[in-house]
Chain A
């Protein structure tokens, strides 16, 4: 069972600078050639201030979060079960976004394979003025290295 006290634990905000090249490589890796991710002029003609990042781009942000530290266990395996993004606005090249990770929920669920631990983590990104840009909620199925039982 994961440590219930983990709920509320968070990592300090980490700066992520959104670079054009990083957006391009991310979009290329997905195989998405929408010119708003590559071409500044096209992006402007489409009503954006500059090149836009794809919706899942926050997956490339890093926070200083160490899941072992946040959850208080050694992790044997992690499985991504659900993911939700909420966007206040699109993310653009040149954005400087502070990203932090917080443990929102820790639960024990019983599935067909027996008991499993589920952790819900929020990654939150804020701009330099402190305004929220996005929130990314991850639901993870966690197996700890040692069953503490």
Chain B
């Protein structure tokens, strides 16, 4: 079993990560996660408690789903180092839900022998509803050659690669041989990167609302969702 690696030279802005479909969440998994994380908030493991405060059932801790999305990135970016990983919680995840994790490369650049890429990440439930949305910044070797050099204690391979933000590309299509003088201009644009082709269907909700709103009989309807799980 040899470790496949992801190198900077191999990725393209716009690349989609192979979707990761997780097994349906059940209460045993919630119990295991409670034990493993040390978070025994009864809202995630104690059905009677959850119902007593008006919830249809226990629900998954948000960090479990953050872990799913982390798995998507780690599986895809083998050998890369996560530098930053941020998420926003959109919708609650319940026992019986099947979470599918997706992602897309939105930017890549190299500076001083260090190579980075940014990705948009998101997770959907079996109804295609967005439950979690995030972004990550990863760092990797430029190529196998670069890795071998660095592991041998030599200087990294230096290739200047200006930012290639997906957002910028969409705005101004094919600037293939983009001027290298624009490197600083391109990086100034950075904050815009990614958010452009954000995943669809985000319904912003008040997080507060979700916590306090009792969801009367949804739990029943939720289980045997009559619609076929839609999958692309």
Contacts and interface: CB of A to CB of B under 8 A. Distances in A.
B36 A26 contact: yes
A79 B61 CA distance: 10
A85 B79 CA distance: 18
Interface string A52-64: 0011100110100
B18 interface: no
Interface majority SS (helix, strand, loop, mixed), chain B: helix
A79 B3 contact: no
A85 B82 contact: yes
B84 A84 contact: yes
B83 A29 contact: no
Contacts of A116: 206, 208
B23 interface: yes
Interface stretch (B27-35, B109-117, B176-184): B27-35
A25 B73 CA distance: 20
Nearest to B212: A77
Consensus secondary structure, chain A interface? mixed
B38 A62 contact: yes
A62 B37 CA distance: 9
Interface size class of B (residues with CB under 8 A): 35 or more
Given A82-B86, A82-B88, A87-B84, A54 B209 contact: no
B89 A45 contact: no
A30 B65 CA distance: 8
B71 interface: yes
Interface residues of A, number: 40
Nearest to B151: A47
A34 B38 CA distance: 22
Contacts of A60: 36-38
Interface string B60-85: 00111011101101110011011111
B89 A81 contact: yes
Given A31-B22, A83-B62, A111 B206 contact: yes
A90 B29 CA distance: 25
Contacts of A56: 63, 66-67, 70
Given A26-B37, A31-B22, A84-B84, A54 B206 contact: no
Contacts of B67: 29-30, 32, 54-56, 59
Closest 6 CB pairs of A and B: A84-B86, A46-B3, A30-B67, A55-B70, A29-B36, A29-B32
